[in-house]
Amino acid sequence: MKIKNIIVAFFLLLATWFLLNGKYDLTTLGIGIMLSLFISLVFCGKCEIFSEMNFSPKGILYFFTYIFVSLGELIKSNFDVARRVVSPSLPINPGIVEVETKLKSKLGRMILANSITLTPGTLTVKVEGDTFFIHCINVEHTDIEGATKDIVKKFEKYLEVIYG
């Protein structure tokens, strides 16, 4: 039984319970704790999804920093796409670029792919090992190194500390 996975799942489920419920009384707390514990024990005893996470102080600090970096990139890309919609004279050069990642963790690569997809103007089309194929609304670099630097590096340096 992977105790680390159970503990992380318990706290994530409990936090989700409170966010969705909106109440913070003793009854709600009790039900949330019981449900979160039950679900964690039943479904996360053999899973390995959180075993790759780094729970050192640096890993936790990078986790919260990553959230703010992701939100910043989300806001910047929203404004860029909105500006291109409002000003049709702005150039677009859609295409698919190939990028590479240094992340070895499956969970880290999945979060990287989803982070790229969540930012407007980019979409992760395919993942093959360490190589991602990304559709961009405006391709600026066709070489792997340039595209990787523009798209992946801003997320990867944080995910590498969190997930390895």
Q: Tell whether 39 and 116 lie within a shared domain.
A: no
Q: Tell whether 93 and 20 lie within a shared domain.
A: no
User: CA-CA distances (angstroms) from residue 53 to 65, 94, 163?
Assistant: 15, 35, 5
155 lies in some domain: yes
Q: Tell whether 133 and 64 lie within a shared domain.
A: yes
Count of domains observed in the chain: 2
Give the residue numbers spanning the domain of 131. 57-163
pLDDT tens for 75-120 read 999 998 899 889 888 878 899 999 999 998 888 899 999 999 998 8
Q: Kindly report the pTM of this predicted structure.
A: 0.78
Q: Tell whether 83 and 123 lie within a shared domain.
A: yes
- Mean pLDDT rounded to a whole number for the chain: 88
Q: Tell whether 85 and 147 lie within a shared domain.
A: yes
Q: Is the pLDDT of residue 1 over 80?
A: no
49 lies in some domain: no
Provide mean pLDDT across the span 38-45. Answer: 87
The helix (run of H) or strand (run of E) holding residue 98 is: strand 95-100
48 lies in some domain: no
Provide mean pLDDT across the span 128-133. Answer: 91
